[in-house]
Amino acid sequence: MEVCVMQKAEVILSILGERSINDRNYKFERIYRNFFNEDFYLLAYKKLLTTNIAYKYEKKPLDKEVIKDLITNMKNEKYKFLFTSKQEDFGLNHKVSLLMEITKEILKKIYSPIFIESPSAYEVKKSPFEALAEIKKNGLNKNWAIEGNLQDIRSKLDVNILATFLKDKINDGRMIELIKTIFTSPYKMPMLEEIYFSYFDSFLANMTNEKLYYSRYEDQFLFLIEGTKEIAQRLENTIKAYFSAIYLQDLPGRLINLNDQKIFFLDYEIFISSKNTNVQGSCNLIVPTSVINEKIKAFTAHGKAIHCHNRMNLPIAEIVKIYDQEIKAFYQYYALADDVKRKIKKFKYYHYQSLLKTIARKEKGTISKVKKKYLLSYKDNGYYFVCK
């Protein structure tokens, strides 16, 4: 792709993005030379100022000598020393951050169609709530599931496999070498891992239809199947064979019969209604009892509600605010659960009692006095009080 080195970075990135969207099979060439363009460093610095905490304290403009040195290093392909270990020196880290930010912006444009369509929704930042809502909708009549977690696989990613994937989209040896250096360095770029797993996502997404549904959120993946045991086993073998062929590792997943087992996904329990119910085949999301019991631990001891010692020195309004945020966040996350009101009732009781005891201990009074003084009540999934 021919572009003038001195063109504005945003113009070049726009061209890359348009080319990628208009031609899914387009191979990008001469991408590496964008690192010779001063404007890419200025754009990277501008983005880092809004996304990187360390940069938010940097008020001065980007030093032109830093850009000059980096361009010289990139032209001579002498940048690997920057990535050998995480540097304590901010100046060296600064250079690494700039190079990684430019790389990220370029790859984002090249792979934008893949990221947007990916079940993991890397680019559109899909929330767990959205992923679960889609599972609830598409899980109708599914009676088998393949669930798994890619977390352990992430520690065994193969840089040569990544390079093979990159060559499908990038025909530029210098650019691929730079990406390989970043990938094997102590500095992490999540986008590269998403490119790595995008082939697995695409393979399963292409199988999706009315009887098959695939979802992945970060490390967790779920493949729902409507069909016989033989069909489910055949699909499982196909998926595992594909995964092993491209990643040279075994797929960390298992086949589950949804007629008699529940699955866990994003801290929800999922099961399909049996033939004996009025909503046969519906996909049900519920709050795991284990989650409730674990949440309660922070507010109880020996089966009774206790005060929170680390909150006693806070103002009353702040104490109530923290408890209020906790109960609302719990409700909001499990809003899709069919049993949220019933399951959370137990947690709410101990949580509310802990709030009362924390204020009572702070004021060296009783729970009844606290309730009378502050008119503390629980309404619409939150705590309300009158500060006197």
Q: How would you write the pLDDT of the chain (388 residues) with one tens digit per residue?
A: 444 446 899 999 999 999 999 998 999 999 999 999 999 999 999 998 887 766 666 656 788 999 999 999 999 999 998 888 766 655 568 899 999 999 999 999 999 887 766 665 454 457 888 889 999 999 999 999 999 999 999 889 999 999 999 999 999 999 999 999 999 999 889 899 999 999 999 899 889 898 999 999 889 999 999 999 999 999 999 999 999 999 999 999 999 999 889 999 999 999 988 655 556 688 999 999 999 999 999 999 999 999 999 999 999 999 999 999 999 999 999 999 999 989 888 999 999 999 999 999 999 999 999 988 887 776 656 776 665 5
Residue 239 to residue 321: CA distance in whole angstroms: 48
Residue 127 to residue 63: CA distance in whole angstroms: 38
Specify the CATH number for 123-159+189-286; select among 1.20.58, 3.30.70, 2.40.128, 1.10.260.
3.30.70
Q: How many CA atoms lie within 13 A of 86 on its CB side?
A: 3
Please, which residues have CB within 8 angstroms of residue 54's CB and are 6 or more apart in sequence? 90, 93
Domain borders along the chain are: 9-110, 123-159+189-286, 289-384
CB–CB of 148/254 below 8 Å?
A: yes
Q: CB neighbours (10 Å) of residue 33? A: 15
- CA–CA distance from 342 to each of 25, 286, 369 (Å)? 52, 10, 29
Angle of CA points 32, 247, 106, to nearest 5°: 20
Of 354, 326, 331, 329, nearest to 342 by C-alpha is 331
